């Protein structure tokens, strides 16, 4: 049975803000996410094309990242809308860095940008360390 680590619905929610590259970061494409961020989604053209590419990006993510206790969708929503407060770091159990993010606004944006590049790996690593959930074992 195919695991489902990422959500097409969350991908499209972040795609609405696609000129920032948020959906590309979410689907594990930090290089093109950065390009989208710096060029406003390749001047809107890449952003429109991505509307058709999101299902394939989701499929590839599901194959690449580990399923487990921590949900990628929750992590990404917390990062995107509450990252300066470290909410995503608290969620995955990184309390010390969460407090640093809370007190410094995501280390004055640099840490926030770093997490856009690395959140999928952080969640995947935590899922591997803490093992699968009951939901994942039942699959």
pLDDT in tens, 69-99: 999 999 999 998 888 899 999 999 999 999 9
**What residue ranges do the domains of the chain occupy?**
8-64, 72-134
Write down the pLDDT at residue 133.
Answer: 60
Token pair 């989701």 is at which residue? Answer: 58
How far is the CA of 8 from the CAs of 54, 61, 99, 109, 127, in angstroms?
Answer: 7, 11, 31, 27, 20
- CB burial of residue 64 (10 Å; 0-12, 13-18, 19+): middle
Q: Which of 17, 55, 11 is nearest to 37 (CA)?
A: 17
pLDDT of 59 above 80? yes
- Distance from C-alpha of 36 to C-alpha of 137, rounded to nearest angstrom: 37
Query: For a pLDDT cut of 70, what percent of the chain falls above it?
Result: 91
Residues 44-56 have pLDDT tens digits of 899 899 999 999 9
Mean pLDDT of 114-121: 94
Write down the pLDDT at residue 29.
Answer: 95
């Amino acid at each position: 049975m195919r695991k489902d680590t990422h959500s097409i619905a969350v991908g499209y929610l972040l795609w609405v803000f696609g000129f920032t590259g948020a959906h590309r970061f979410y689907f594990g494409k930090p290089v093109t996410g950065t390009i989208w961020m710096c060029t406003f989604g390749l001047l809107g053209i890449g952003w429109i094309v991505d509307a058709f590419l999101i299902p394939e990006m989701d499929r590839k993510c599901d194959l690449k990242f580990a399923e487990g206790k921590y949900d990628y969708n929750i992590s990404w929503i917390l990062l995107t809308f509450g990252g300066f407060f470290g909410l995503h770091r608290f969620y995955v159990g990184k309390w010390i860095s969460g407090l640093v993010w809370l007190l410094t606004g995501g280390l004055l944006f640099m840490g926030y940008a770093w997490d856009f590049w690395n959140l999928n790996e952080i969640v995947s690593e935590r899922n591997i360390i803490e093992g699968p959930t009951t939901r994942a074992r039942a699959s």
